[in-house]
Structure 1
Amino acid sequence: MNENPAEAGISVLIVDDSLAICQLLSAMLKDFGVTLVDYCHSGEDAFRMVERDPALYDALFVDLHMEGMDGLELMAKLNEIRYRGGVVVMSALDRKILDFTLEVISSYNLRVLGSAEKPFDKSLIAFMIKRIRNYRPHFPRREKVLKRREVYDAIKQSRILTYFQPKVSGGDNRLIGIECLVRLEMEGEGIIAPDRFIPVVEKFDLVDALLDSTLSVALPQYKEFVETSGANVPLAINISPMQLHNDVLPETLMEYLEKNDVDKSQVVLEITENHAIREEIQLKNLNRLRIHGFKLSLDDYGAGFTNIRQLKSLPFNEIKLDAKLIDGIRQDRVLQVIVRSVKNVCDELNLTLIAEGINDPDDLAMLNSIGVDGYQGYLFCRPKPLNELLRWYKVWVHTIHESRAKGVANPSV
C-alpha cells in the first residue's frame, strides 16, 4: 500500500561546508519531527543529488558562503531545472549582503520559504518546518475521490453555491471589491470546497461549464449586493489558466455581462497561478481580455510559476500575494524582502497589490509598513453567502466610523 504523501514525513537536505553546522541543524530538525535529514558540503554535490531525484527532498537549507559552487549559484541552477521544493537561505554574512541576495533570488521561480541567520534560533527553525509543511501538496484524508460524472452533474444542475469575500483598502479600510468563491452542493457529500472539486474540473475539461454556471448565479447576486448596500465595488471572478486556450472567452464573458446588465469595468478576472501561463495562445487571449476592457488580477502570486521579471511583461492590473508569503512575515526577513520587491514592481507598473490570507494583526502591521494597497482574509471577513455579506457590510461601515473616531488604524469584525 502506498503511503499517503500528506502523512509522510518531511525530508530535508542541508547544504553547508561546515560539518558542525550540518550536525547542529540536523539535530534541531529531527527534534522538531523531520524524519529524513541528509547533508552535503558543496553546491556541486547538492545539485547532483537534486537533479538525480527532484522529488526526494521537500526543502533545502542552503548556506550562501561555500567554496566552489556557492549558495547563490546553486539556487540559480535549481531555478534552471525548475526545482519545486522549498528553499531556506542560511547565512552568517553581513545583513546587507543577505538582503542583496534575497533581492536577486526573489526574481527566481523558486519556492523561497525564508532565511535562517546563524546562530540558529530554535523558534525560527520550528516556523520554517511549519512553512515546509504548508507548501507540500495537500491530500484530503478519509475523503472520497470525486468522480467526473458527479461533479459534472452538480455543475449542470446548477448546484452551485456562491460565497463572497471582501477586499478592503490598506489606506482607509473601505470596501474596494468582493471576490466570488464557489462551492458545490453534491448528493451524499454536502457542500464541497474548491480544493476537492477544482482538480476534477481541470482534469476533465469542465472549466468552461463551471464558469458558465458560476456567472449565472454570481452576477445577479452581485447586482443585488450593489443595489442593496450602495457599495459600487468590482466583482472578482476566478479564471483558470486553462481557459486561456479558449478563443471565445472574451465573447462568452461579454454575453453574460450584457444579459445581467453588469458593466465590464465592474469585473476583475483573477487568473490563478496553479498552472504556468507561457503558451502563445494563452498569452494572446490574456492580452485580448485586456483589449476587451477587462481588469486582470494575478491570483496566488508566490505559490506558482510567475517571477518578478515576468510581471513586467504580463498585462495584469492587480497582483494578489499568496497567503504563504504573508503568514509570519512579521518575523521573516526574506518574506519582507520579497513583498517589498513585488511592491516596488507594482509601483513602477502602476499595479494594485493585494495581500490575501490575512489572519494575524502583527502580519498586517508589517504589510502596512510596506505599503500594500489592499487586504483580504479571515482577520476582516470569512467568505459568506450574499445575505450574510450584506449584514457584515453594515457592521463593517459602522465599525470603521467608530474606529476613526477612536483613532484605531485597522478594525476587524
Structure 2
Amino acid sequence: MKIEEKKTLLTAVCGAALLLLVQSMHVTLNGDNEREALSALYLISSWCTSAFGFAIFAQGWLLFSNQLSRGRLYSSALFLGVCVFDLLHTLGFIGIPFIQTVISEDRAFWLLSFSRLASAVGILLIFGKEDSPVLVPRKNSVLRKSILLVVLSMVLFSAGSYFLPEVISPVQADFARKLLNFVVLLVYLLDIAIIFYTKRAEKSSSLLIIIRSLVFLALGQAFYIDAGSDKNIDLLFGAASCAAAYYLLLTGVYRLTIEEPFREKQAIEAQINYLVYHDDLTGLPNRRRLLQHVDEVIESHKTSAIRGCSALAVLNINHFKDINVSLGHLAGDRLLQLVASRIKDGIRPGEDLFSMGGDEFAYLMTDMQSLDSCFLRSKELLNLFEQPIELEAGEYHISLSLGISIFPADGDTAEQLIQNADTAVHDAKEHGVDIRRYVPLIQMKAKERLKLENDLRRALEREEFFLLYQPQVQLATKEIVGMEALLRWQHPKRGLVSPADFIPIAEESGLIVPIGEWVLRTACSQNKEWQKAGYRPICVSVNLSLRQFLQPNLAGKIGGFLQRIGLDPSYVDLEITESMTMDKEKAFEQLKRLKELGVYISIDDFGTGYSSLHYLKNMPIDRLKIDRSFVAEVMEDSNNAAIVSTITSMAHHLKLKVTAEGVENEDQLQFLRQQRCHEAQGYFFSKPIRAQEFERIFLKPTIYGMPS
C-alpha cells in the first residue's frame, strides 16, 4: 500500500475514533467562560474555513488562468458560493447587529447546513468524473452563473427563513435541520464511495488528498448533527474538522489540477526528449545526440588548452544482414542489444557509445594521449567479441569492422568526422580488414562505389551482363559431366567489371535477386538449347544468393520457368553457401521444396563458413564443393591436405558427391584422385569461357538422338 493510501486510511480510522470518543464523553459547556472560549475557538475555525474556501476560489480563478481545467473552474465557482455562505454564517454566529437582524444565530446554522449540502453535491459532480481542459472564454460565463446562483440561493433562503417559522414549530425546525445535516453526511460518504469506485484503477496522491478532505468533511458533518445554539463541544470539533477539510481540499485541487498536469507535461516532454535523442532498441544515444556531443567536444578543444587528440570510431557488425535474414528480425534485434551491452560494459572515462541505426555504432574517445592510443583502444573494442554471443538459436561468433577519424586531422566538424569514420568502416569491410583510418582516397572510392551501384541498377535493362561456363570433370572417367555458370558484367565505359567488385554491391542493394533470376533463366535456357541441338545432356550449376534462397516462393518461381523452358530439373544444380543454413528449420523447408522439383543441391565453398555435421546429415543436399582456398595449397600445406581428405572421407560416408574447385595443376589433380574426389573444376581443365566456345570445345553430340 502506498504512503498516501495509508494516510487516507489512517485519517478515516482516527476520525471515527475521535467521533466515538467525543460522543461517549457527552461534554456540554454550561459556564459563561467556557461558552466564550468555545465561541472564540469556533470563530477562529470558521474564519479559517472561510479563508480556505476563498483560497480555493482564488487559486482556480487567479493563478495559472491560462491552464484552466474542468475541475479547477467548477471547484472555484462552487467554493465562491460556499465561501459566501460560510462567511455569512460566521457573521451571524458572532452576532454583529446589522447582520443579526437578517441572519439570526439559528438561521446561521441553517446557512451552514446549506453550505455543506452545496459543497457535498458539488464535489460529487466535479470530482466524480474525469478532469478535462476547458476554454478560457468559458471562465467569465461560469463566474456570472455562480454569482447568480448565490444571489438566488440567498433570496430563497431569506424567504424561507421568514415564512417557515410560521408553518413549523421550533422543534420541527430543529429536527428538520438535523435531518438535513444527516443527509449531507450521507452525501459526503457517497462522494467518498463514488470517487473510490470510479478511480479504483489508479488513485493519484492528489486525489487521495481530496478523499481525505471528504473524510474530514464527513467527520465535521457528523459532529454538526447534534451541534446547535447550545454551543456544545461538538460544534468546535465540527468547525475544526471543516477547516482541516478545506485546507486539504485546497492542497488537493492545486495538486490535481495544476501540479500533477505540470509534472505529467514535464514527464512527457522528458520522454519525448529521450526518444528524440536515444535509440529505442538499444537505449543508446542516437546519431542526433552524437552530433551534439561531437560539436561540444570540438568546441572544448577550441576554447581550452586540451592536449592529445579525440577520435570517433564507427563499428559495423560483419555479416549482420545474413544473421538478420536467416535467423529473423527478432534475433537480429537481440543481437544488436547484446553487442551494445557488451561494448557499453567496457566504456572508460572520456568515452561514449552511440547508436547510428541499423547495425552501426559510434564510439567517441576524447582526450586520448596519441594516435597510437586511439588505435590500441580500437583494437581492444574489437577484442571484446572474441567470445561468442548467445542467442536463442545458439552461440554465434561475430566480428566487427571499425572505421576511425581523428580530430582535427580528419575533419573539423561533427558531420565530417562522422561521415569520414563511416566511410572508413565500409572500406574496412570491403577489404576484409578490422580497422581502417579515414584517408581522402577512401572517400573517392566510396563515390566510385556509389556510381557503380547506380550503373549496376541499369545493367540488366541494358543487357550488359553475360555468362561464362566452366566445365566440371569426372575424375574417374575424365568426362565432362557438368558446367558452372558464372556471371560477368561488361560495362560500356569501365569495360569488364570483376564480380568481386559488383557482387557485394548487388547483395547489399538487393539487386542480387533480379540479377540472380536472370542468371538462372539464362543458364537453364542455354542448357536446353544445347540439348535441342543434339548435345549430350549435362548439368548446369548456378549459385543462389542468400536473398534469393530466403524467398518464400523460390521453388515456385524456379519450377515455373523450368516448365516454360522445358528443361528437366535433373539437369540443374543449385549451389548454396553454408551461411544460408544457419536457420536450420527455414533452410530445411526451403531445400525440401527445391528437392521436390527434382533439382540437385550443392554446398559451395564448403569448410569456409558455418559448418555443421547436423545439417549435412539431415538436410536434402547432394554434393559438397571444396573451396579453392584449400585446394590451392594442398601440396604445400599439410593442414589444407588434411582438410580436403577429411571433407572427402566425410562426404563418402554421408553418400554425398564431392567436387573440388580451383584445380590448377597435375599434382593437385592426382592428390584429389587419391582422396577419391568425384569431380573437379579449375584452370587446369579450362578457364570460364563463353557459351559458343564451351559448345565448340566440350560438348559432344548424343548417340541417342536429340532429347525431347
> 1:304 and 2:609 equivalent?
yes
Say if 2:581 and 2:615, in contact at 8 Å, map to a contact too. no
In the TM superposition, what is the alpha-carbon distance from 1:179 to its structure 2 partner? 0.8
Aligned residues: 281
What letter is aligned with 1:165?
Answer: Q
Query: CA 1:292 to 1:199, structure 2 compared with 1: closer, same or farther past 3 Å?
Result: same
Match of 1:404 in 2: none
Q: What is the aligned counterpart of 1:375 among 680, 683, 690? A: 680
Q: 1:145 aligns with which of 444, 449, 457?
A: 449
- 1:76-95 to structure 2, matched below 5 A, reads 82=397
**Contact 2:603–2:623 at 8 Å: present in 1 too?**
yes
Q: 1:256 to 1:374 in 2, by over 3 A?
A: same
Q: Find the aligned partners of 2:524 and 2:606 in 1 and give their Cα distance.
A: 26
1: CA distance, partners of 2:381 / 2:615? 28
* Aligned residue runs from structure 1 range 18-37, under 5 A: none
Match of 2:622 among 317, 321, 330: 317
> Which amino acid in 2 is paired with 1:202?
E
Indicate the residue corresponding to 2:382 in structure 1.
53
- Structure 2 match to 1:290: 595
SS of structure 1 residue aligned to 2:609? coil
**Who wins on radius of gyration, i.e. which is larger?**
2
- Give the match for residue 163 of structure 1: 468
Which is strand-richer, 1 or 2? Answer: 1
Could you tell me how far 1:309 is from its partner in structure 2?
4.5
1:338 match: 643
Which ranges of structure 1 fall in alignment gaps of 5 or more residues?
Answer: 3-49, 58-73, 86-135, 396-413
- Corresponding position of 2:658: 353
- Structure 2 match to 1:208: 513
Are 1:386 and 2:691 an aligned pair?
A: yes
CA-CA distance at 1:162 after TM superposition: 0.8
TM-score when normalising by structure 1: 0.60
Q: CA deviation at 1:187?
A: 2.8
Residue among 262, 266, 281 paired with 2:571: 266
Secondary structure of 1:183's aligned partner: strand
Question: Counterpart of 2:529 in structure 1: which amino acid?
Answer: E
Unaligned segments of structure 2, at least 5 residues: 1-311, 313-378, 389-393, 401-430, 437-441, 701-708
Match of 1:156, SS state, is: coil
- State which drifts further: 312-321 or 154-163: 154-163
Deviation at 1:212, TM superposition (A): 2.5
Amino acid at match of 2:491: M
Give the Cα–Cα distance (whole angstroms) in 1 for the partners of residues 606 and 640 of structure 2. Answer: 13
Paired with 1:83 and 1:246, the residues of 2 have a C-alpha distance of 25
Task: Quote the sequence identity (%).
Answer: 25
Contact residue 601 and residue 622 of structure 2 kept, 8 A: yes
Deviations 1:313-360 (A, max 9, x none): 332101000001111212322222222221222112211100000012
The Cα shift of 1:189 comes to 1.7
1:247: Cα distance to partner? 0.9
Contact 2:663–2:682 at 8 Å: present in 1 too?
yes
CA distance 1:80–1:219, shift in 2 (3 Å): closer
Q: Is the partner of 2:469 in helix, strand or coil?
A: strand
Question: How far apart are 1:312 and its partner, in Å?
Answer: 1.8
Counterpart contact for 1:271–1:296, Cα < 8 Å:
yes
1:226 maps to which of 517, 526, 531: 531
- Deviations 1:25-64 (CA, angstroms, capped at 9, x unpaired): xxxxxxxxxxxxxxxxxxxxxxxxx99634999xxxxxxx
> Residues 184 and 388 of structure 1: is their aligned pair in 2 closer, same or farther, counting only changes over 3 Å?
same
Match for 1:194: what amino acid? P
Corresponding residue for residue 133 of structure 1: none
Contact 1:269/1:297, CA 8 A, preserved across alignment: yes
Which one of 608, 611, 632 corresponds to residue 327 of structure 1? 632
Aligned-CA RMSD value: 3.5
- SS in structure 1 of the partner of residue 522 of structure 2: helix
Q: C-alpha distance in 2, partners of 1:293/1:362?
A: 36
TM-score by length of structure 2 reads 0.36
User: What is the CA–CA distance in structure 2 between the aligned matches of 1:189 and 1:280, rounded to whole Å?
Assistant: 43
- 8 A Cα contact 2:663 2:669, kept in partner: yes
Comparing both chains, which one has the higher relative contact order based on Cα–Cα distances under 8 Å and sequence gaps of 6 or more? Answer: 1
Deviation per residue, 1:165-190 (Å, 9 max, x gap): 01000101101101110112223122
Residue identity in the other structure for 2:575: E
Q: Partners of 1:145 and 1:273 in 2: how far apart? A: 28
CA contact (8 A) 1:170 1:372 kept: yes
Cα distance change on mapping 1:392 and 1:202 into 2, 3 Å:
same
Q: How far is 1:279 from its partner?
A: 5.8
> Residues 56 and 190 from structure 1, CA distance in 2 versus in 1: closer, same or farther, beyond 3 angstroms?
farther
Distance of 2:384 and 2:535 partners within structure 1 = 51
Distance 1:375 1:316 in 2: 18
Q: Which amino acid aligns with 2:397?
A: R
**Distance 1:150-1:280 versus aligned 2 partners, 3 A rule:** farther
Higher helix residue share: 2
Pairwise CA distance, 1:83: 6.9
Contact 2:595–2:601 under 8 Å retained in 1 = yes
- Partners of 1:331 and 1:185 lie apart in 2 by 36
The question of whether the paired residues in 2 share the 8 Å contact of 1:165 and 1:384 is answered with yes
The alpha-carbon deviation at position 370 of structure 1 amounts to 0.7
Residue type at the aligned position of 1:269? L
Distance, in Å, in 2 between the alignment partners of 1:281 and 1:80 is: 18
Equivalent residue number for residue 480 of structure 2: 175
Counterparts of 1:173 and 1:54 in 2: how far apart (Å)? 48
Structural mapping, 1:86-165, within 5 Å: 137=432, 144-145=448-449, 147-165=452-470
